[in-house]
Structure 1
């Protein structure tokens, strides 16, 4: 009988701790790294992988995803896992499906569709709804065959709605009795493995709107209710709080809430987002300076980076990130159907109002100013097909019109199916990117994986950082990048024995060719991989040869192996891993 389940030979090991790279072997047994560093006789392993000339690195831990629904139809969480992501945190921004009363299931799915653009039809097809409480949801996820690891916040919107009812949750603060019940349920959830709680707090400026266009409960909440829940984490001495409370200047900044929750809880609080803006070169620096200030105050606050060269490739029928830019775009989005949107776009009075309300500064979170959107394919708007590949600003100049007028004309003529692409959704300034990623209190990754699937891909953020900042620009070492991508978030979340390639640590890792790692920088791919053959955008990886979770290969050169070794991770770390892996072994037997 072989001593090891797997031996990876001859690779260049970047262990995630910032220790200098070295060439060596990795031996895996029972899902963990048993030996690492020296030459290991291949005869001691049941299986070997030759990694000569390749990088062997810890699997990426993505702190901000919305795979809450997709994990039920896709055990591998495409396309994030294609890029070496092995662990995903869900329940972000306060959105999720637990706890949920049976009568509220439809409403929860509608909210998830409207805020995160997870298709309603897919959720109806795939969600088994075998739970009401958080522990019941956790039990369902633990029994689900998964190719990747999942950890979950208690989503605050779900908790508020469950206890208060949706109308009360959106219109008033919690009563004393309701606070006590939310406190009880949070403790119950954390006993079952929740890693803390997550929410957004952006008042009426969040692009995540409810189905009627109003703010979500946590955005309009009495922040003292969140402070009360932060006390739970202080008393338990465990857990993390995620808070989306910062949008670029001119919109909203509620950093005070993060500071107060860090003070009350004594636990890590993760503020998102921190991103670079070419039009506001000092914006990210103000946030980095603020993180330093929090540290001097003894508060454990981190920033969550959105630093990668992703974009939105969109049709107006699916896109709604612009609904927070002006009242007219919110009205446009609420039309819902292609016919309704096309009719509004054809209304001269509406278009004139949209032009009057247009403020480019409000579009930083919607993909950049409308002038910078590129017309990819005019579809039925044949009068504009000659401009395919041109920016809307260029088309507007040629037509002698405002870019908003051109935009709505194309939408009206195409029946809402013209294809556009953002070109300034993120900054491509490597200096700004490096400033953010190299700050000691910044965690890499805001993929939004599982969300916005018909217009955005973000799971390639680690691949982009490696090819852009480490290889092409030579600004950041792989040692620093993989620390930020894996070990730092593992420490932040208290994922015991994860995030690094060390003996006794979970064998979550990936193997890639540094010279060829990448992805198509021009366009996403359309793939029919949603339930019932529906389509979505994906971003295939290049140069990534193996992705391994808990010691088992789940992907080889982009092909799924069929293995499902994923675990549910909780604040107790390794104990939840062992329980889950034991369950999987028993099920296999």
Structure 2
């Protein structure tokens, strides 16, 4: 007798091949049979009319802090994620010396917009080394599996101390010390090393990140260690948002050297930026050339929708740096703030002011043509009739005034989307080519980060509802391809070999989905982080069940209370059973 038998569902197995009606038998944490299962199960699940897929493998999250205090890890849990990689973009909380706690919080707050107050309240700091941090993560039960990259920024602070802020490169001895800590982390189970090299990433006080500007000698030394353990380097490249073509060209030369001299695998964030929308073609040509060579692997981590901001008076918006707004926000609670902002004379004063140059608010005010009202239904591919310039023209007012009024009504449930990257007059059509290239992988959900700016932790559900079902501004994608993008391909890219496909011998991570009724609600502001800090969440309906390692963790969009999730350690807990492999 099997532990669980899922019967009669449309099995989309993660390989990209056509879905078929089949049963799935599970024993313990392992899939043991796919096809027509004759033996009974201790629990039988009727999947007639449902999609049955592997659990989603999200390789770009920022749960580094949240994973130390939160067993549930939403927004990913409610969107069917069963494995998440954290430690991306060079930020995290280990290794750390006792005097550096505030510095690493300021780094995460600035780069990933996770409130410093929540991190100060939530982090216990019961570790110093990266292996000790992994042990803390491993000791806590949770709803799904997590894995981690070693972040370069904390590593440099740990070794260089205050000298990390200077212009003097590390000594050979310091580089060797960093390499030893990388080796220690990889032996403890890290999947690789992440680093941010873009000046777009700043600390909360506006300073450069500790790893910005790390030179080739240092990166070569660290890459050799990562390559020796079969891991990968993950980069947020200089020039990533198209602001400096020469910078991104220099980055690509550096990555080429790393690959050719060390054999390391490389992943990098790649956008179709509004400032330089076609340079990605050169990046993908290099990536695909490396993959054809066969010595190393390279991937572009891409999103599945526009990169930008949801605008709200409680989070990011075009008036956020103006003196009157800053004064009111500092003095008033949320509802009182909205009431004061609704006064005509206050609105007039704020609209007459300007944001200081160099601030994010100033940047937002240069892109009114990319601001859309996506409505409560959350149309993330709106046409120009929903552009705020167009809507303001109909109302006989300015985009600034119209945006202000919409935010007064909808700041609790933001409906204004500023689509800066991956978006143009065709919607997502031009971006689709980048998303579907052989060298691209879905890897920019940023789940756990930018908590009042975006709500992209629900990206996996969006991929199904939008790209596989509801899209109107172009062709939809086969559901089999979309599932493959979120399972086999992401697991393969991260070097996780025991999941991502519904196949005997592989881990029993499974989603049962009512595809026709799968829905994402409008984002809403909730105050559930430590210190009552706020974040945006989207409620999801349509996941009839999520199974993690053979245990049902969600059923009919509600948690079961089961916490089977664990820490994945590279080369220890992520290998497939003999004779089985996901890719």
Q: TM-score, normalised by structure 1?
A: 0.81
Q: Does 1:248 align with 2:241?
A: yes
Note the C-alpha offset of 1:390.
8.1
The offset of 1:466, in angstroms, is: 1.9
Query: CA separation in 1, counterparts of 2:92 and 2:490?
Result: 21
Q: Work out whether residues 370 and 393 of structure 1, in 8 Å CA contact, stay in contact via their aligned partners in 2.
A: no
Residue 586 (structure 1) aligns with: none
Q: Following TM superposition, by how much is the alpha carbon of 1:172 offset from its aligned partner in structure 2, in angstroms?
A: 2.9
Report the alpha carbon displacement of residue 11 of structure 1 after superposing the two structures with TM.
0.9
Name 2:440's counterpart in structure 1.
Answer: 442
Tell me the residue number matched to 1:581: none
What SS does the aligned partner of 2:354 have?
A: helix
**Judging changes above 3 Å, is the alpha-carbon distance between structure 1 residues 513 and 170 closer, same or farther for their aligned structure 2 residues?**
farther
Instruction: Determine the structure 1 residue equivalent to 2:304.
Output: 307
Q: Which residue of 1 aligns with 2:15?
A: 17
Moved more, 155-164 or 243-252: 243-252
Instruction: String of CA shifts for 1:482-503, please: whole Å, max 9, x gaps.
Output: 2221111212222121111111
Find the aligned partners of 2:390 and 2:524 in 1 and give their Cα distance: 26
Q: 1:41 offset after TM fit, Å?
A: 3.2
Q: Select 2:221's aligned residue among 224, 228, 233.
A: 228
Q: Does 1:122 align with 2:118?
A: yes
For residue 582 of structure 1, what is the aligned residue in structure 2?
Answer: none
Judge conservation of contact 1:346–1:412 (CA < 8 Å) in 2: no
**In structure 2, how many angstroms separate the alpha carbons of the residues matched to 1:165 and 1:358?**
28
Alignment RMSD (CA, Å)? 3.8
* Distance of 1:219 and 1:151 partners within structure 2: 24
Shift of 1:256: 2.4
**Using the alignment, how far apart are the partners of 2:558 and 2:373 within structure 1?**
33
1:432 aligns with 2:430: yes
Quote the Cα distance in structure 1 between the aligned partners of 2:278 and 2:255: 21
Of 396, 417, 421, the match for 1:422? 417
Does residue 1:351 correspond to 2:351, yes or no?
A: no
C-alpha distance in 1 between matches for 2:543 and 2:408: 42
Paired residues for 1:74-93 under 5 Å: 74-93=70-89
Task: Map Cα deviations across residues 440-488 of structure 1 (whole Å, 9 max, x no partner).
Answer: 2211131111111123111222222222222235542222222221111
Is the alpha carbon distance of 1:503 and 1:347 closer, same or farther for their aligned partners in structure 2, counting shifts above 3 Å? closer
Partner of 2:287: 291
**Would the alpha carbon gap of residues 111 and 317 (structure 1) be closer, same or farther in structure 2, given more than 3 Å must change?**
farther
Aligned to 1:480: 481
Are 1:561 and 2:560 counterparts? yes
Distance 1:556 1:239, change over 3 A: same
- Give 1:507 deviation, angstroms: 0.8
Q: Does 1:468 align with 2:471?
A: no
What do residues 347-400 of structure 1 show as CA deviations (whole Å, max 9, x unaligned)?
Answer: 99972864xx8999x96xx698134436899xxxxxxxxxxx982675599787
CA shift in 2, pair 1:504/1:484, >3 Å: same
Which residue of 1 is the match for residue 204 of structure 2? 211
Question: How far apart are residue 296 of structure 1 and its match?
Answer: 5.0
Equivalent of residue 154 in structure 1, options 150, 153, 171: 150
Corresponding position of 1:493: 494
Supply the distance in 2 between the matched residues of 1:297 and 1:290 (Cα, whole angstroms).
Answer: 11
Q: CA deviation at 1:213?
A: 1.0
Instruction: Give me the whole-angstrom Cα distance separating, in 1, the residues matched to 2:407 and 2:78.
Output: 37
CA–CA distance in 2 between the matches of 1:352 and 1:114? 19
Task: State the alpha-carbon separation in 2 of the partners of residues 397 and 353 from structure 1.
Answer: 30
Aligned-pair CA distance for 1:241: 0.7
CA distance in 1, matches of 2:565, 2:356: 51
| 1:178-211 deviation per Cα after TM superposition (whole angstroms, max 9, x unaligned) | 1111011000001100001001111x3x1x2113
CA contact (8 A) 1:154 1:198 kept: yes
Equivalence map 1:505-544=2 (5 Å): 505-520=506-521, 523-544=522-543
Show the counterpart of 2:231: 239
Residue 261 of structure 1 and its aligned partner are, at CA, apart by 2.2
Q: Any idea what the Cα deviations from partners look like across 1:20-58, whole Å, max 9, x if unmatched?
A: 32211111112111222113333xx22121111111111
Distance 1:58 1:419, change over 3 A: closer
CA displacement, residues 71-121 of structure 1 (integer Å, 9 cap, x when unaligned): 233222111121111111111110000001111112211221222121223
Q: Is the 2:373–2:417 Cα contact (8 Å) retained in structure 1?
A: no
| Equivalent residues of 2:118, 2:532 under 8 A apart | no
Unpaired runs of at least 5, structure 2: 333-340, 376-385, 578-583
- Aligned with 2:132: secondary structure? helix
Deviations 1:213-244 (A, max 9, x none): 1211212322431222011123x241011001
